[in-house]
Each structure stands twice: as C-alpha cells, then as structure tokens.
Structure 1
Amino acid sequence: MSAVPDGKKLVRSPSGLRMVPENGAFSSPFSLDEPQWVPDKECPRCMQCDTKFDFITRKHHCRRCGRCFCDKCCSKKVALPRMCFVDPVRQCRDCSLISQKELDFYDKQLKVLTAGGTFLVTLGFSEKSETMVCRLSNNHRYLFLDGESHFEVELSRISTMQVLTETEGSTPGEKDIHTYTTLLDSQYISEGGLSRATGMLLHYKPPGSQDSQQLRMEAADDKKSASSWLAAMHKAAKLLYESRDQ
C-alpha cells in the first residue's frame, strides 16, 4: 500500500511556533525532537563563557541543545527546519553553525531528492535489473521506486547505505558513506582521487520481516542527474544517522 501524505498542524511550544505532522508517529526521519531545557536553577552561569547570571545578565536557552547561555553567547536566530520551526529561533554559537550547514540540505537537496533520478535497480542478488525512477516521498519518509513495477523503502528501516563510486582511470568500487572527506558538486574526494557517485547499495528490513534485503541502484542514461541525486542522498544519510544517534 502506498504511503499517504501526512496532514500538518501548527503548534506552539516554549521555543516558538512549529508546523508538525498531525500524527507524531509519521514525522520525517530527518527531524529532531525539541530538547529538554536545562532547568533555570541548575545553571547559575553561562554554559559557554561562565558569566554569572543576574538581574542585568539574563539567561537564554538554545532551542537546539536546550542549554543556558548569556545573550552574547546565544544571540543568533537561525532557521531550524529539523525541529519544524516556522520562524528562526535563538541558538548558541555552536548550534547555529550546525543549523546553517543543514539549511543547504533543506533549501536545495530535498528538492533534488523529491524530483528523483533514473537508475538500474536490482533487488537482492538477482541477475535481473529494472530501469526505475527513484524519488523521496513528499513526506520525506519513503523512497519510491517506479518502473514497470512499484515498491517502497521506508528510510527508518534502512540499516546500511553505501555509495558506489567511479574514479577516472580505475575500476568502480564501493565505499561506506562515512569514508568520504569532502563532498563538492556531486563529486567525492577519496583516497584514490576525485570520484563521482555512480550508484548506491542499501540494506533494509521490509515491514514485518527481521531479515535484511539488499537493493542496488546504478545510474542509468542520465548519469549527471543520477549523480546529483546520489550526492543529495549522501547528505540525507548523514542527517538520518545523526538523528538515530541523538
């Protein structure tokens, strides 16, 4: 059964207005829950510069980490789509830098992922492949694969994800997504030199099964478009695994 786009509602939290799914169980796997704020009585001093709080020096909570800071150390107001905030919210210096880097994913890469790319898809260890368009669902929870057939992979059920690369003058190889040191315009800097993403290897557990299934995707005709999609998926994977580690 195909996934149905989830309705959203506007809610008010201590940090500001948030646009969240009506059913919390269907939130995007890229999103983060709001942190528990450090109680006021437990932070008499700024947790960054150690300035003592008083009537003049007021304390502020970072909306991303929930820790207490003075105004100087928590003056940045940055968009935080990972927590579904409608407006930019106050964040400490370290958190604001992280959120700024994530904005590129939300502003650009999500559009690439929902637009989709064309791949040769192989299920399991079959010798038969099918040309399919792979795209991220509008609710950001599934990979939809459409060709002569259709099936879906829920992102939260993906256990491992590897990017297949090809370096000029060498044999195509596989590397885990965490082995890349730099990602620039769909190209990767690896130990072997400049490489371009050519495919992806996933392992996931289908609903109702504890057995892992393998899915292999290799760029079809439009390799440039497919490589851009894979680069966006690489960034999505880093956010996905980061969410699991929270």
Structure 2
Amino acid sequence: MLAGRGGAPVGLGPGSGRRAAGGGRRAAGERSGGVMSSEVAARRDAKKLVRSPSGLRMVPEHRAYGSPFGLEEPPWVPDKECPRCMQCDTKFDFLTRKHHCRRCGKCFCDKCCGQKVALRRMCFVDPVRQCAGCAPVSRREADFYDRQLKLLLSGATFLVTFENSEKPDTMVCRLSSNQRFLLLDGDGDGDGHREVEVARIAAVQMLTEGLPPGDTLSHTSLPASRPAAEGGNARAIGMTLQYTTPGAEGLTQLTLTAGEDADGSRRQATAWLAAMHKAAKLLYESRDQ
C-alpha cells in the first residue's frame, strides 16, 4: 500500500527483531548449534519501500539493521531562506525554479543542479537530482558499490592473528550480505568462526610492502594517500583491526595477512584489502555525518 511523504512505508517486509550484538565469537542471534534460523535472519534483513520528499527509497525495516556505510537524508534548506542559487547566485523567479540537491540539501537552479546520479548510500531506488559538487562524489562511491563491495562479499583467504593467539589461523574473511558484519570462517569448531560488527570497528591500519607501514584510520582521522591496490608504489599485504566487543572493556585486535587462494595467488586477498580500505573511509564518513 502506497503511503504519504516524509518516509511513510509503501510496502512492509517481515516483522520486527532486536539488533544482534556483533564482534564476538558468536553473534547474539545465533542458536546454540551455531546456525542462525532463517526466520531470525529474515526479520533482521527485512526492508521496506518508503516515499520521501526526495524520492523512493528501499530502507531496512528497522533502522538498527541498516548498513554502517549508509547516509541519512540531509535536511533541506527552507525555500524562504534561499531566494538565489547557492552556486551561481542566480535569482529564482517564475522561469528560474529552485531545486534541492538530494545529497547536501542546498538549493540551486536547474543549471547547477540538473544531474541525476545514483545515490546508493541513501538507499534511493532511482538516480536523484544532485548539485555539481555532490554528483562527482556519488559517482566515485558508485564504483565502491559496483566493484569493491562485490569483492568484500566474495571474501578472500587470510592468515588471521587474534591478540591472544600464538600462531595465525587460515580463515576466509568476507562481508555479510547485510554489510553489518565481517565473517571469519576457518576449519573446525569453536574458534573456527568469528564475527566482527563493522559498526564497532574503531581503527584500521593498513600493512604494506614497499613503503613504511600504512596510514592509521580512526574515527577522527582519515588517510590522504591511496591504498597500494589503487595506485602508488606500496602494496597492501595486511590490515589490523581494532574493535569493541559487547561486555568487554577496551579494544580487541586482530590482524589479517594476505593468504594464498586455491591457485597459490594472493591477488584476491590484496584486492579485498584495498576494498576494505575504501569501506573504512565510508564508515567514518557515515559516523561523522
């Protein structure tokens, strides 16, 4: 059923569910046997179609289950506060109409805000109107969703060292389909499966060859340099993650070192690291919004 403006639901998915706490050896939603029921997963990943003033959006039914890389819609500058285009200063009149950029919320004339570009971080179904400053940013982000996100979902093989481990474990690390968890799977039971909630990641450090150790990412500081797999002389060989876990004090740390796949190549792992580097930037941008 189609509803009104302002984020009202158009169609609803399955029912509600509580947010599962991640970052431990088992997510809270998992059963004692280590397998999450399909019913719980369906509730957690349910989405709904909503109509906002900016257009149709496919959003999580429960906000707590949204992608950590997402952005909230910005408040629009009130029409009465922008008699002129905020880019070229053209005065609005009957012939020169004002338009709001869906990414920044500022108002512009059609010439300065005539591009319609996909904006997946805000879950828009169709391309939406954006200003000349925001459109290139959204296009660059589209590359992450078109190429790098697929790499993260596919996963890669790493040697994983936990802070209390004496030796690394060979594990496949991948991003969950809802983008909320890093899933690490190895052989055997017990420590053979770990989950890290992406939203709880506090710092990321790239480990490189060819240059001194890479930049450290934090909630307040982002690197200006590009990761090795995207350009430059250094080559990414690993990554250290620091994250919080429910009920524990301080930060937990693990280190991923590029491992060989079935063909004896580390190419998939290094590409995954570069994609995760980009994902970390989007994560911090979402927090700083």
TM-score normalised by length of structure 2? 0.79
Q: 1-side partners of 2:248 and 2:230: how far apart?
A: 35
Residues 166-245 of structure 1 mapped to structure 2, 5 A cutoff: 166-167=209-210, 173-177=213-217, 178-179=222-223, 181-183=225-227, 186-189=229-232, 194-221=233-260, 222-245=265-288
Aligned positions of 1:44-193 closer than 5 A: 44-148=83-187, 149-167=192-210, 173-177=213-217, 178-179=222-223, 181-183=225-227, 186-189=229-232
Deviation at 1:182, TM superposition (A): 3.2
- Cα distance in 2 for partners of 1:225, 1:10 equals 35
Contact 1:164 1:201 (8 Å CA) reproduced: yes
AA paired with 1:112? L
Tell me, yes or no, if the aligned pair for 1:7 and 1:21 is still in contact at 8 Å. yes
Aligned-partner SS, 1:119: strand
How far apart, in 2, do the equivalents of 1:23 and 1:135 lie?
Answer: 23
1:126-169 C-alpha deviation (Å, 9 max, x unpaired):
322110000000000110000031010011101000111111xx
Deviation (angstroms), 1:187? 4.8
RMSD: 1.6
Is contact 1:12–1:18 with CA below 8 Å preserved after alignment?
A: yes
Check conservation: 2:227, 2:277, Cα contact below 8 A: no
Partner of 1:36: 75
- Mapped to 1, the partners of 2:250 and 2:69 lie a distance apart of 24
| Amino-acid identity (%) | 62
Which residue of the other structure, out of 58, 63, 66, is the alignment partner of 1:27?
66
State the Cα distance separating 1:188 from its structure 2 match. 4.5
Kept in 1, the 8 Å contact 2:173–2:185? The answer is yes
Task: Name whichever structure is richer in strand by fraction.
Answer: 1
With normalisation by structure 1, the TM-score equals 0.92
Contact 1:60 1:71 in 2 (8 A): yes
Q: How many residues align?
A: 238
Amino acid at match of 1:163: M
Offset at residue 125 of structure 1 (A)? 4.4
Structure 1 Cα separation of the partners of residues 267 and 204 of structure 2: 20
Letter of the structure 2 residue corresponding to residue 147 of structure 1 = G
Q: Secondary structure at the match of 1:173?
A: coil
User: How far 1:96 moved relative to its partner?
Assistant: 0.3
Distance in structure 2 (CA, Å) of the matches to 1:179 and 1:106:
21
Distance 1:59 1:180, change over 3 A: closer
Q: Is the 8 A contact 1:165 1:175 kept in 2?
A: no
